[in-house]
Structure 1
Amino acid sequence: MSSLVRFLFSLAAAIAAASLLAASLRRHVQPSRLPEQLNPGPMAARNRSFVLWLHGLGDSGPANEPIRTFFTAPEFRLTKWAFPSAPNAPVSCNHGAVMPSWFDIHELPMSPGSPQDESGVLKAVENVHAMIDREVAAGIHPDNIFVCGFSQGGALTLASVLLYPKKLGGGAVFSGWVPFGSSVIERVSAEARKTPILWSHGVADRIVLFEAGQAGPPFLQSAGMSCEFKAYPDLGHSIATEELTSLQTWIKGRLKASQDKES
């Protein structure tokens, strides 16, 4: 047998063996599939939740991340948290100093009659809505989305919840204020009016005066919205553990109601 014949014979045998091996592999290897936990059904997606926390003037998102450690109840096992940071911008009440700020603040202490940067607020609201929309697109139901914020972040929370076109799980305002005039009420959708509001404010607050916080519930009432207002007699411009405990209970109740409704 010539060298060429022997080579062709060996090549044919190798091809045949490879064909047999490929056939065997096709019989024994099952099509790949995602693990069950990576492919949640509709109910699992429904039970997921999202909490967006908006910090105050001059603060940052990462500095507020320890807040999530207060939320230890089982209902928060599937909760996604976000602590974004405001962009750096000059702030009028601080003589134009550049610092993290969601929008401009013209004067402090903040009172019910303080001038407001409505255009800046509305621009910041667009960014918050984009964050919410991303979570909705990822499968989290709006009923399980909660926006919370302190001081300037509380004012932005209120604006973002009022102007979002859908009903959300809730908005929680801590030591915040109403950041625009009553003309905005006309832009609040019928669905947004169903979003519940929790408002917490320290009576001893000398930065955002308690009176500024008290102006919130009547404003919301005129918009046809419900508001649970909690006053803390000895609290200044800060967040107390008692407030976070109350927030956990408040969110838990709404998560359960959402899940029961789906069931």
Structure 2
Amino acid sequence: MCGNNMSAPLPTIVPAARKATAAVIFLHGLGDTGHGWAEAFAGIRIPHVKYICPHAPTMPVSLNMRMSMPSWFDIYGLSPDANEDEAGIKRASENLKALIDQEVKNGIPSHRILLGGFSQGGALSLYTALTTQQKLAGVVALSCWLPLRKSFPQVGQKPAVVGSANKDVHVLQCHGDADPLVPFMFGTQTSEKLKTLINPSNVTFKSYRGLPHSACPEEMIDIKRFIEKQLPAIHDE
């Protein structure tokens, strides 16, 4: 996942129950690993889909007093006007694009690959989908935000930055309305921004009453339905 950074172990993979004709690449949040999400996807697995849960490299994180922990990029603050680690976000996004390319080489076309992530991982997935020329099957963005949002066209501008490959991509955004870390308002504002960058009818925002900065069974069912819709079985399997 992380190119020449040897501090990140190989992704945890939930293999398809039969021949894999589609894949989900799902990125965990700050300070976490891919193991828990691999277990979650094993619980809702679809037979022809392979689930790839990479592990972020360990790095000092400014938000947490420069303590080292798994992180896709540095985070300076959680307020909307906080500075962002632009170089780190772009580097992580390139690594994610390389992981997509690897799956394409393995025989799964990019339009049969769905990106997703929770919190920081969801942010990176959204950014990558909007900047890559790889046509994707969809994005699952949980409890997250759009990083470097000012680098994207403002309303009324020509969409010069957004990768035209994904202007019609389907996005499922999920957010708990009791999230103390990434406020619910960040989620709703991100959803509104996404609707100006891609086909607005393809952006689905779901809220979960009383859910803090975590996932819940109802949300996992919604995710499974979205994956089934965006990555249907191929009939000659």
Distance in 1 separating the partners of 2:86 and 2:196:
19
Matched position secondary structure for 2:207? strand
Corresponding residue for 2:143?
A: 175
Give, as a single letter, the amino acid of the residue that structure 2 aligns with 1:245: I
Corresponding residue for 1:228?
A: 204
Distance in 1 separating the partners of 2:149 and 2:181:
20
Aligned-pair CA distance for 1:155? 0.5
Aligned-pair CA distance for 1:252? 0.5
Corresponding residue for 1:197?
A: 171
Aligned-pair CA distance for 1:208? 0.5
1:99 alignment partner, one of 69, 73, 78: 69
Aligned-pair CA distance for 1:215? 1.4
Residue identity (%): 36
1:65 alignment partner, one of 34, 38, 43: 38
Corresponding residue for 1:211?
A: 185
Distance in 2 separating the partners of 1:116 and 1:232:
28
TM-score w.r.t. length of structure 1: 0.75
Deviating more after overlay: 200-209 vs 138-147: 138-147
Distance in 2 separating the partners of 1:196 and 1:99:
32
Q: Sort the Cα spacing of 1:181 and 1:68 in 2 relative to 1 into closer, same or farther, 3 A.
A: closer
Whether 1:238 aligns to 2:214 is yes
CA contact (8 A) 1:204 1:237 kept: yes
Q: Sort the Cα spacing of 1:213 and 1:111 in 2 relative to 1 into closer, same or farther, 3 A.
A: farther
Give, as a single letter, the amino acid of the residue that structure 2 aligns with 1:51: V
Give, as a single letter, the amino acid of the residue that structure 2 aligns with 1:202: G
Number of residue pairs the alignment of both structures matches: 212
Distance in 2 separating the partners of 1:118 and 1:220:
19
* Counterparts of residues 84-123 of structure 1 (less than 5 Å): 84-107=54-77, 110-123=78-91
Matched position secondary structure for 2:30? coil
Corresponding residue for 2:226?
A: 250
CA contact (8 A) 1:103 1:121 kept: yes
1:136 alignment partner, one of 93, 97, 104: 104
Runs of 5+ consecutive residues of structure 1 not aligned to the other structure = 1-43
Aligned-pair CA distance for 1:117? 1.6
Give, as a single letter, the amino acid of the residue that structure 1 aligns with 2:190: G
Aligned-pair CA distance for 1:63? 3.2
CA contact (8 A) 1:112 1:211 kept: no
CA contact (8 A) 2:114 2:138 kept: yes
Give, as a single letter, the amino acid of the residue that structure 2 aligns with 1:203: D
Give, as a single letter, the amino acid of the residue that structure 2 aligns with 1:68: F
Aligned-pair CA distance for 1:176? 0.6
Aligned-pair CA distance for 1:85? 0.6
CA contact (8 A) 1:154 1:172 kept: yes
Q: Which runs of 4+ in 1 moved over 4 A?
A: none
Give, as a single letter, the amino acid of the residue that structure 2 aligns with 1:205: D
Q: Sort the Cα spacing of 1:223 and 1:190 in 2 relative to 1 into closer, same or farther, 3 A.
A: same
User: Superposition RMSD on alpha carbons, in Å?
Assistant: 2.1
Matched position secondary structure for 1:188? coil
Deviations 1:106-146 (A, max 9, x none): 12xx3433332222111100110001011112221222211
CA contact (8 A) 1:111 1:209 kept: no
Whether 1:80 aligns to 2:54 is no
Greater share of residues in helix? 1
Aligned-pair CA distance for 1:259? 4.3
Matched position secondary structure for 2:122? helix
Distance in 2 separating the partners of 1:216 and 1:53:
19
